[in-house]
Structure 1
């Protein structure tokens, strides 16, 4: 009668070992699954060189305060190596597309020498797409049968501009990082999208945002549950579109920009 008892104890020990291993695995999985923190920084491109507040120096202080692990940029992946190689060679950017963005030329690339973060190119832009979009928009503007569409497009842009100026907060980084700002931008952008997105093909507003965000999502998936801080830097008009998509994810924690803006006030 002792033999079954021995077997019973052995079986119990095995079961306890299996349960213990599973619990350990669960604890390890829970430890590994730490959500990344994500912030979306709306930039004003050339405006950073002329604005009295939202300057490149302001951006430097802000990004230092955010202290990201990864910066997702409005640089196309196929242009990034040329930009980065040039910067490593002589501390300057000569790649034509990247040169358009002071936030990268004067801020992000120089900061990469003193702050430990990885620059990830995520723009869906291509020159062919941009040229085709420009040509199609010129054709629409000159087509007398499309006068009503073009008039509606211009009127929506003027409405956005007037509301923006009426706010008295032109290029104010606090205002740019609000839902109100996104709503004002949407007046012009949604009209543009409804009228021309399909016709403009890859250069349409919805379509280019999908292309940008596809690359952003690839980066988010690659670094999922690493407990890192990810900063997305794009022209401010894209911010509302991206935030709507990012809010659908349950694997990240979206951070508000305002506390970081508060922290760098002099």
Structure 2
């Protein structure tokens, strides 16, 4: 009888200790954030289309979370499947998608997940409100502060001599310089601009990013988030709060392609 009881206790203890161990073996997804310079990729001497192409091949993502609105994705993909071109107006603005990411789906087989919170009505409303603020004499001090913050940020970038250097873009220093302008913009106008405000649009973007990460939680996949570089710092601050992913640095991948 005593032996039976001891065995029962032993099995109970082993059963309790196995659960935490099995939880620890769940494969976390890997996440990288790639900051792009949009049209700048067409002219930059280093961070150009060819460089992006080689970089994404080195990263080998399973999913790319793209700065494409969900309601624009179907039209963009239909055009690409039809004749390897993209005519969807919003997506056409970003050469990183037109010339690199969509073509690479054929070679690498990753899935593009559209995550942008952008809408045309929101963008139109934001532009109209900013224009009105710029002409409102009672808001002169706010507008001057906004322009001064942009000028200050640009002057620091110019002083570094590395504004669009891919290594520099993927540093916290770059994010800090971006914040000089963006946090001023956010403080002065976010509430007034509604959905188009800086904080508000990033929340909208990140909500879609979170949905994708939740859908594939603990599947050992690699996610590459591709957005304009100004969004990178905001996203990273949120991603650091998650304990179910492994955030990867971009620098090792940049070094690998530079050595080839």
**TM-score, normalization: structure 1?**
0.92
> Structure 1 CA distance, aligned partners of 2:211 and 2:155?
37
Paired positions, count: 259
Q: What secondary structure does 2:108 align onto?
A: coil
The structure 1 residue matched to 2:96, chosen from 100, 103, 109, is: 103
Offset at residue 76 of structure 1 (A) = 0.5
> Structure 2 CA distance, aligned partners of 1:30 and 1:223?
17
> Structure 2 CA distance, aligned partners of 1:71 and 1:128?
26
Which moves more between the two structures, 150-159 or 22-31? 22-31
The structure 1 residue matched to 2:155, chosen from 158, 162, 168, is: 162
Aligned to 1:198: 191
Q: What secondary structure does 2:34 align onto?
A: strand
The structure 2 residue matched to 1:189, chosen from 158, 182, 188, is: 182
Aligned to 2:49: 56
> Structure 1 CA distance, aligned partners of 2:123 and 2:23?
44
1:119 aligns with 2:112: yes
Offset at residue 30 of structure 1 (A) = 3.6
Cα deviation digits, residues 216-243 of structure 1 (max 9, x gap): 1111111111111111000000001111
1:208 aligns with 2:194: no
> Structure 2 CA distance, aligned partners of 1:204 and 1:252?
28
What stretches of structure 1 of length at least 5 have no aligned partner?
A: none
> Structure 2 CA distance, aligned partners of 1:90 and 1:175?
36
How big is the alpha-carbon RMSD for the aligned residues of Structure 1 and Structure 2? 1.7
> Structure 2 CA distance, aligned partners of 1:140 and 1:208?
19
Aligned to 2:214: 221
The structure 2 residue matched to 1:65, chosen from 47, 58, 64, is: 58
Could you list the runs of 4 or more consecutive aligned residues of structure 1 that deviate by over 4 angstroms after TM superposition?
Answer: 8-28
Aligned to 2:140: 147
Q: What secondary structure does 1:109 align onto?
A: helix
Question: Which of the two has higher C-alpha Rg?
Answer: 1
The structure 2 residue matched to 1:134, chosen from 124, 127, 132, is: 127
Q: What secondary structure does 1:38 align onto?
A: strand
Offset at residue 117 of structure 1 (A) = 1.1
Aligned to 1:245: 238
Offset at residue 252 of structure 1 (A) = 1.1
> Structure 2 CA distance, aligned partners of 1:127 and 1:20?
58
> Structure 1 CA distance, aligned partners of 2:5 and 2:76?
63
1:261 aligns with 2:254: yes
